[in-house]
Structures are given as C-alpha cells and as structure tokens.
Amino acid sequence: MTLTANRAPAEQRTPAKAEKRANPLRFVILAALLALLLIVIAPLLIIAINAVKSPADYASGGPLSLPPRLYWDGIVDFWNRVDFGMKLWNSFITSFTVAVLGVLLSILNAYALGIGKVKGRVWFLVFFLVANLLPQEVLVYPLYFLSKEAGLYDSLISIVIIFTVIQAAFGTYLLTSVYQEFPTELLDAADVDGAGKLRTLWSVVVPVSRPTLGVLFTFFFIWTWNEFFLPLVFLVSNDNQTVPVALGVLQGDRLMDATMTSASGLIGILPAMLFFLIFQRTLTRGITAGAIK
C-alpha cells in the first residue's frame, strides 16, 4: 500500500514536469513565429507609411521615419494620373470572369475524369500536369499569333480565354483527385432516384465539393489579379490595362517619386488583400473539409 501511495504522486507529477519542460520550447516557437510575422508585415508597413508621407518628409527623414502629418496628395495624384478606377475595373472583371469560368470548366473536366472514369484519363491528367509546368514565356508567341488571327489582340476577352484555360488545367488536376474519392453511396442513391449525369453533377457532386470549389475560386481570382507578363504583352492600350500592368509601366516614369511609388504599391495590393480577407473563411472551410476527408 505504501509503495502504491508513493508511486501515485510521482506519476501525477510527471505530466506537470513534462509541461514545464515544454514551456520553453513553446516560447521559442512562438517567438520564431512572431519574428516571421514581423518580417512579412514590415515591408507592407513601410509602404503604407511612405504612401502617406510628403516628398519633403521622405527626403528629410528617410523611408523609416513616421510622417508628421498624413499626406494624401501622392495617392490622389497617382489615382488620377493612371485612371486607376478603370484599371481596378479591368482587373476585377477579368479576375472574376476567369475564376467563375475556370471553376466551371474544372468541374466538368474533373467530373468526366474522376467520376465518369473515361478511357485514357491517366494520360489526360498527365497532359494537365505538364500544362501546369509550362512557363508562360513558352506560350507567348503561339498565343500572340492566335489572338492576332482571331482579332482578339489588345482585348480583355483574350486574357479571359487564356487564363481560364491555364487555371482550369490546375483545377482539373486538383478536382480529379478529389472526385476519384467521391462517396459512391451518394452516386448510387442519385442513380436510384433516376437522376441523370448532369443532375447528379449539379445536385449531388457540386454541393458536396463546395468548400473545395470555394478554395479554387479564391485562388483563381488572386492568381489572375496578380498576373503581369501575359497582360503586359496582350494589353497594349491604356484603357485595357490591368492593375499590375499599370504599376509596372509607371515604375520607369521619371515623374514618379518614392512616395508616389509607395502609394501605387499600396493601392495595387489592397484589393487583393481585401478579397483574401473576405474569403478567408471559405479557404479555412475548404482546407478543413479536405483534412477531415
């Protein structure tokens, strides 16, 4: 009895000692994550500070000093100089259209390859995987030639078509791996109820995979918004330029001082950040659903 009584407190003290030993390690991990967070946020803070700083304050205090007063003329001048409202609209309508069409095309392709199990689906998946690995520089001349022949050069429609196909290649590859593990019980139940292929797709498959589709939509929108190289080649007129192209073209302007450059960077990145924050719960649900599955 005595040995048992003495052993029990020792066993009770063991988790407490282990927890005390884990506390320093936990502190180190939290400190490292905090340092990493500061490294990521620091450039954004510097850009935001310099965007509301006058050229005189920047010249006297440097890029790291706080402005004595908020100076909004740099943001206003940049907005008016490049007609930034039109650039925002071009980027939004292009990114939104590509995200919607890319998700729809990915659903149809993945349904045929993952659930329909068409013949040669492995080679189709290899094709989509190779398409994702091709650099955009390889695609420039063929796409330029085709857009010229089709009369779509210097048009937002050409950008929508190109990036819909590019994004759908990735979406098809991802969704096919998801649909290959789709519960067959749900498909059999829909078949018993007399549902056809299309009704099964839109009434059963799409609602179940909605979290994953939300993740794809968010990624497609942000990826298309940040695209620079192909829009720079295909959108030559000022009225059709997107936000990244407008920012890149004006970087070599001699009238752009450091504060206006910071203002342009801040305005250019804010819409994508706001979109990401708005759809953050969609991303979280999609990732959580995939982890649970």
Higher-pLDDT residue of 283, 225: 225
Task: Reduce the DSSP state of residue 285 to 3 states and report it.
Answer: helix
| 264 plus 178 within the same structural domain | yes
Within a domain: 61: no
pLDDT digits (tens, 9 = 90+) for 155-201: 999 999 999 999 999 999 889 988 988 888 988 888 888 888 889 99
| 271 plus 127 within the same structural domain | yes
CATH number at residue 216: 1.10.3720.10
Other CB atoms within 10 Å distance of the CB of residue 117:
10
Residues 6+ apart with CB under 8 A from 258: 50, 55, 58, 63
Mean pLDDT score, 78-91: 89
Domain of 38, in residue numbers? 2-51
| Measured distance between the N- and C-terminal CA atoms of the chain, rounded to whole angstroms | 49
Mean per-residue pLDDT over the chain, rounded? 84
This prediction has a pTM of 0.81
pLDDT at 283: 62
pLDDT digits (tens, 9 = 90+) for 203-227: 999 998 888 898 899 899 999 999 9
Within a domain: 64: no
Mean pLDDT score, 50-71: 88
pLDDT at 165: 94
Share of the chain above pLDDT 90, in %: 33
| 157 plus 221 within the same structural domain | yes
Question: Of 81, 94, 99, 93, whose CA–CA distance to 247 is shortest?
Answer: 81
**Based on C-alpha coordinates, what's the Rg of the chain?**
26
Within a domain: 237: yes
| 23 plus 149 within the same structural domain | no
| 12 plus 122 within the same structural domain | no
Query: If you ran DSSP here, which 8-state letter would residue 7 be given?
Result: H
Q: What is d(CA 246, CA 231) in angstroms, rounded to the nearest whole number?
A: 10
Q: What is d(CA 10, CA 119) in angstroms, rounded to the nearest whole number?
A: 65
Share of the chain above pLDDT 70, in %: 86
| 145 plus 109 within the same structural domain | yes
Q: At what angle do helices 156-179 and 84-110 cross, to 10 degrees?
A: 40
Within a domain: 167: yes
pLDDT at 255: 61
Which of 4-18, 101-115, 192-206, 224-238 is predicted with the least confidence, judged by mean pLDDT? 4-18
| 191 plus 259 within the same structural domain | yes
Within a domain: 203: yes
pLDDT at 293: 47
